[in-house]
Amino acid sequence: MTRLETFYKDQVLAKLTEQFGYQNVMQVPRITKITLNMGVGEAAGNKKVLENAVADMAKISGQKPITTKARVSVASFKIRDGWPIGC
Query: With bands split at pLDDT 50, 70 and 90, how would you rate the model's confidence at 1?
Result: low
Q: Check residue 16 and give its pLDDT.
A: 92
**Could you read off the pLDDT of 40-75 as tens digits, one per residue?**
877 777 888 888 989 999 998 888 998 888 888 888
Q: Check residue 58 and give its pLDDT.
A: 92
Q: Check residue 47 and give its pLDDT.
A: 81
| Burial environment of residue 43 by CB neighbours within 10 A (0 to 12, 13 to 18, 19 or more) | buried
